[in-house]
Amino acid sequence: MIDLEQNKSADEPLTEEPSTPEPVVDIEQNSIEDTASLQAIEDVHPKSSSSPWLLLIVGLLIGGLGGFYLRPIIFPEQPSVIAPLASVESSDEINELDPYQAVMMAVSSGARHYQGKSEAPITIVEFGDFNCGYCARWAKEVLPKINEKYIETGKVKMAFVHFPILGADSMEAAEASECAAQQDRFWDYHTTMYSNVGIGYTPANLTKLADQIGLDTQAFEQCLSTFTDTSSIEDDIRLSQIMGVRGTPAFLVNGVPLAGAYPYEEFERIIDQLLGDNTSG
């Protein structure tokens, strides 16, 4: 598993993370339980019988001698057969595993929302929370430049994985985006929600945002009020946790991890380098 924090630099991009309390361990209680366990073990110590070692040695001698003399009768010798083996020439391309590619294969199979051409050589995966201010800033300042230079030109495709960690509004917004996806407008709604982060993702406000991009608001409201496909969002959360995501936003660029709202120049550097590698390969 790749920890997405490994690429943090000195001026580390901001991410939003949930807080978790430290567990409390009762040392005195553990001591009492350990002492009780040791006492229980001592009380059940078995009594030894008379001369066990002598009986063991005699048994081994009889068994060993009997096996030595009876083996040729029970298991007669068989001629050995050596099967021919196929000869394979060595190659640098055989069994060569690219860890970044392995990561992207795992994530790509789990991600559901894509934009861009499917045959694009570079894939960016965003692990995001629609209630996250840093995600919204990245979507406003960086994503449009990536879209213009790379996605619209067929060099990059982008995927989104839900990681709603900032409260009930986050989950409500994730469900609303899935309702928009049912009308094939996930990415339009993705942009609209990030543009309106902080308004409070109540059903009424989410429906207003749906109306802004021309969704069928009646179908949208029905989907939101009776939303049952929580398993797909839970799968995204599980995938994010498996990949080591701890805060939002976080990204994979063909498997290269970026934890935080990195500027456009960093994405440009990585994408151009990967495109150069693909061209030379």
Domain 98-280 CATH assignment equals 3.10.100.10: no
What are the structural domain ranges in the chain?
Answer: 98-280
Q: Among 98, 101, 105, 125, which Cα is nearest to 114's?
A: 125
What is the percentage of the chain residues whose pLDDT exceeds 70? 60
Residue 87 or residue 156, greater confidence: 156
Q: What is the pLDDT of residue 6?
A: 44
Alpha carbons 272 and 128: distance in angstroms, whole number = 24
Whether the predicted model's global pTM rises above the 0.75 cut: no
pLDDT band at 11 (very low <50, low <70, confident <90, very high): low
Q: What is the pLDDT of residue 53?
A: 53
Q: Are 279 and 40 in contact (CB under 8 A)?
A: no
76-92, pLDDT tens digit by residue? Answer: 444 433 334 333 344 44
Residue 279 or residue 155, greater confidence: 155
- How many other CB atoms sit within 10 Å of the CB of residue 182? 14
pLDDT band at 142 (very low <50, low <70, confident <90, very high): very high
Mean pLDDT, the chain, rounded, equals 76
